[in-house]
Amino acid sequence: MRWIAKPLETLPKMKLPKGTTIQRFLTLSLRLALKEQGLEALYERLGTIVRDISHQYNTDDLDNNYWATKIRAEQSFHTRLMLRAAEAFDVRSVMDIGDSAGTHIIYLLTLSGREMRTKSLNIDPKAIEHIKRMNLEVVEADAEKYDFGEGNYDMLLVFDTLEHLQNPQKFLEKLSQASCKVLVISVPYLKRGRVTLRNIGLQQVGVIPKGEAHIWEMCPEDWGLTFM
């Protein structure tokens, strides 16, 4: 997501005090990016479909305007991708791998006007709770161990998930077993890739839950080699 990363690529995730100058500046930069990408109308529309996005992730609540704007902007980008793919490939079923709240599927069902068979997958119990509140089908499972050969879905969504996996290459190989019409993937944009292998060790000893931290944060050239 090159357009999101421009003002943020070196900014660590932090809780920004409400009303601070940096928060206002970053929020404005996101708004300008939305305008540049022609996503303003979709951004506003998403706000009428799912009004509360404060619990989109299982780690932190979105407690200020900057983070709420950032997440809704990312969702706008993802939603446009989903809608274009659904139309182009006549999608009637979708699986969201790494879904944290069911929000993307709700957007897709509402805006596409299509009846679809859906399933979400996440390893975290909190995410499962969020998705169940949306009355969506969900399975609690490790994406790196899940058998994607079971069940056929026209479209597979993998939004901002690969960077959390211990072995994204192996996951993609498993995903190749799935029978689908279209695979939609997004990853954070970085000019220069970085790998945090320490987080794998912390996950293995139970310091942090599996799937919670970024491990593989790769630049476009790195991802290009992964998909070769």
Specify the pairing of strand 194-195 against strand 182-186: unpaired
Query: In this predicted model, what pLDDT tens digit does every residue of 113-142 receive, in sequence order?
Result: 999 999 999 999 999 999 999 999 999 999
pLDDT at 13: 46
**Cβ pair 33, 4 in contact under 8 A:** yes
Instruction: Give percent of the chain above pLDDT 70.
Output: 88
Query: Which candidate, 105, 97, 119, 78, places its Cα nearest to that of 165?
Result: 97
User: Is residue 89 predicted with pLDDT exceeding 80?
Assistant: yes
Query: Which candidate, 95, 71, 109, places its Cα nearest to that of 157?
Result: 95
Spatial separation of the C-alpha atoms in residues 76 and 186, rounded to whole Å: 12
pLDDT at 10: 38
* Average pLDDT of span 107-112: 97
Q: Compare 35 and 23 and report the one with higher pLDDT.
A: 35
User: Is residue 19 predicted with pLDDT exceeding 60?
Assistant: no
User: Is residue 1 predicted with pLDDT exceeding 60?
Assistant: no
**Cα–Cα distance list, 34 to 16, 59, 157, 208, 213 (Å):** 21, 26, 22, 34, 27
* Average pLDDT of span 62-73: 82
Query: Which candidate, 27, 22, 73, places its Cα nearest to that of 46?
Result: 73
pLDDT-wise least confident of 17-31, 42-56, 105-119, 182-196: 17-31
pLDDT-wise least confident of 31-35, 108-112, 199-203: 199-203
- Chain-wide mean pLDDT for the chain? 86
User: Is residue 16 predicted with pLDDT exceeding 90?
Assistant: no
**Cα–Cα distance list, 89 to 48, 155, 178 (Å):** 27, 9, 16
Boundaries of domain holding 137? 2-226
Residue 214: which CATH number?
Answer: 3.40.50.150
Longest CA span, the chain: 50
**Cα–Cα distance list, 121 to 18, 27, 138, 175 (Å):** 33, 31, 6, 13
Specify the pairing of strand 216-217 against strand 194-195: antiparallel
**Cβ pair 193, 215 in contact under 8 A:** no
User: Is residue 198 predicted with pLDDT exceeding 90?
Assistant: no
Q: Structurally, how many domains does the chain consist of?
A: 1
pLDDT at 129: 93
- What is the radius of gyration, based on Cα positions, of the chain? 17
User: Is residue 172 predicted with pLDDT exceeding 80?
Assistant: yes
**Which run of H or of E encompasses 119?**
strand 117-122
